């Protein structure tokens, strides 16, 4: 069952109610983005949207200005699926 995360707007497959963007930094969904962008598999805008979703789940220590900027980006992508770098074909090697 699909539903939208109330915090970051991700289309998330329900897995004990957990959003795939609500994970610790060690396994953050943006870790492979630079490799993906270097390979031309991901745009900077997509990377920013992924970082924005993750950051809204980790809002401690972030300024209101930063959170406001990310909230705006998240609104643009609300309910839309973003393909994470680790899911992109061509990232395996």
User: Helix, strand, coil: what percent of the chain each, to 5?
Assistant: 40, 5, 55
Quick one: 35 or 48, whose CB is closer to Zn ion?
48
Residue 56 token pair:
């809204």
Work out whether the CA dihedral 51, 52, 57, 61 comes out positive or negative. Answer: positive
Count of helix runs (H) and strand runs (E) in the chain: 3, 2
For Zn ion, the binding residue among 1, 13, 21, 41 (CB under 5 A) is 21
For Zn ion, the binding residue among 7, 37, 41, 51 (CB under 5 A) is 7
Only segment of 17-25, 37-45, 60-68, 69-77 that touches Zn ion (CB under 5 A): 17-25
10 binds Zn ion (CB under 5 A): yes
Quick one: 3 or 39, whose CB is closer to Zn ion?
3
């Amino acid at each position: 069952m699909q539903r939208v995360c109330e915090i970051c707007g991700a289309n998330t497959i329900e897995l004990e109610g957990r959003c795939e963007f609500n994970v610790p930094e060690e396994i953050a969904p943006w870790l492979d983005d630079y490799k993906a962008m270097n390979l031309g598999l991901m745009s900077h805008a997509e990377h920013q949207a992924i970082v924005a979703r993750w950051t809204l789940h980790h809002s401690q220590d972030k300024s209101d200005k930063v959170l406001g900027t990310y909230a705006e980006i998240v609104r643009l992508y609300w309910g839309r699926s973003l393909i994470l770098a680790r899911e992109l074909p061509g990232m395996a090697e």
